[in-house]
Chain A
Amino acid sequence: MAKADKLIIAGREFNSRLMVGTGKYASNEETALALEASGAEIITVAVRRVNLDRSKEALLDYIDPKKYTLLPNTAGCYTADDAVRTCRLAREAGMSDFVKLEVLGNEKTLFPDNEELLKAAKILVAEGFTVLPYTSDDPIVCKKLEDLGCAAVMPLGAPIGSGLGIRNPYNIRIILDTVKVPVIVDAGVGTASDAAIAMELGCDGVLMNTAIAGAQNPVAMAEAMNLAVRAGRLAYLAGRIPRKLYATASSPLDGLVS
């Protein structure tokens, strides 16, 4: 692959186009092994209260924060105010401006509440955050997020944790045509081919958690996703052949024995 093919978000360069979440693993050891196998450089984390009796081990005792760019999320926030508050805490905890902004509409679908999302994005951009918003696969909303100053847009492929894959590749393509900031498919990937499809569409990256953490062998699936994202990206850059209804022979027609 071309050496210059880097993912650039807000001026920062990354070699891997796969971003992974750190939730739902059986143990912190498994999380660390899966992250390693995924090749990801950006990993998402959640912001939660410290357990005051310190009975639980901390994730960051197992993951070297110097090795990864931590992308704190606002998972569990249903209003712009809550999401903004969480981002401010995340910045203080991690000393970084990068945030994955999500403002959810309801618990059943975990679809974004785009009205609240736009409100939160505006405040956070003004406060100097590098905002990566999880949003619907809606080109209009994605354009608004870009215009507000978000550093990327992260449309869902399907509901969070559903594993349904890229349900509306046409919308993703329109989003790619509409915005100039990186487009990262966030949510919905179920298996390696889903990640490859997102990359073949021309997406700049893919973010996933459940597809890896929920697999029977998370470390093996992390490696599969690593390969799929690279394969999909390479196929996109290589340029696929057009789809045709009828066959075209691959062997020469001349020189057949008769």
Chain B
Amino acid sequence: MKVNINGEMRELDGQSVLQLLESLSIDPRKVAVERNLEILPKGEYDSTQLADGDSIEIVHFVGGG
């Protein structure tokens, strides 16, 4: 299936959001995830399965004023 992650189209097998973060070596505690423009609460990363056509944004804090 195809999933858009941070603007990049990626071909993925069925997996949860938590599995996706782990595969990208991203610490789930340090990010926020938006799925199809809706914030995904941290407690739901494990139970949320990605679906074909999903649009995922993974953000974190960077230096800024």
Q: Which residue of A lies closest to B57 (CB)?
A: A49
Interface hub of B25, B40, B42, B63 (most chain A Cβ within 10 A):
B63
Cβ–Cβ contact B39 & A24, under 8 A:
no
A49 surroundings in chain B (CB, below 8 A) = 6-7, 57-59
Q: Is A90 an interface residue, CB under 8 A from the partner?
A: yes
A58 surroundings in chain B (CB, below 8 A) = 30, 60, 62
Q: Is A52 an interface residue, CB under 8 A from the partner?
A: yes
Q: Is A48 an interface residue, CB under 8 A from the partner?
A: yes
Cβ–Cβ contact B62 & A59, under 8 A:
yes
Name the interface residues of A20-78: CB closer than 8 Å to any CB of B.
Answer: 21-25, 28, 31, 44-50, 52, 54, 58-60, 70, 72-73, 75
User: CA–CA, A160 to B57, complex, Å?
Assistant: 28
User: CA–CA, A22 to B62, complex, Å?
Assistant: 8
Cβ–Cβ contact B60 & A48, under 8 A:
yes
Q: Is A93 an interface residue, CB under 8 A from the partner?
A: yes
A93 surroundings in chain B (CB, below 8 A) = 30-32, 59-61
A140 surroundings in chain B (CB, below 8 A) = none
Name the interface residues of A123-179: CB closer than 8 Å to any CB of B.
Answer: 160-161
B58 surroundings in chain A (CB, below 8 A) = 49-50, 52
* A180 nearest CB across to chain B (Å): 26
Overall SS of chain A's interface: mixed
Cβ–Cβ contact B61 & A45, under 8 A:
yes
Cβ–Cβ contact A25 & B63, under 8 A:
yes
Known: A58-B30, A89-B59, A93-B30. A46 touches B64 (CB 8 A): yes
Q: Which of B40, B60, B64 contacts A22 (CB 8 A)?
A: B64
Cβ–Cβ contact B63 & A70, under 8 A:
no
**A83-104 near B? 1/0 per residue, CB < 8 Å:** 0010011111110000000000
Q: Which of A24, A46, A88 contacts B61 (CB 8 A)?
A: A46
Q: Is A209 an interface residue, CB under 8 A from the partner?
A: yes
Known: A49-B6, A50-B6, A50-B26. A59 touches B63 (CB 8 A): yes
Q: Which of A45, A91, A160 contacts B63 (CB 8 A)?
A: A45
Question: 19 interchain pairs (CB within 8 A)?
Answer: A24-B63, A24-B65, A28-B63, A31-B63, A45-B61, A45-B62, A47-B62, A49-B7, A49-B59, A50-B6, A50-B26, A50-B60, A52-B6, A59-B63, A89-B57, A90-B61, A92-B39, A92-B40, A208-B65
A-to-B contact residues, CB < 8 Å: 21-25, 28, 31, 44-50, 52, 54, 58-60, 70, 72-73, 75, 85, 88-94, 160-161, 208-210
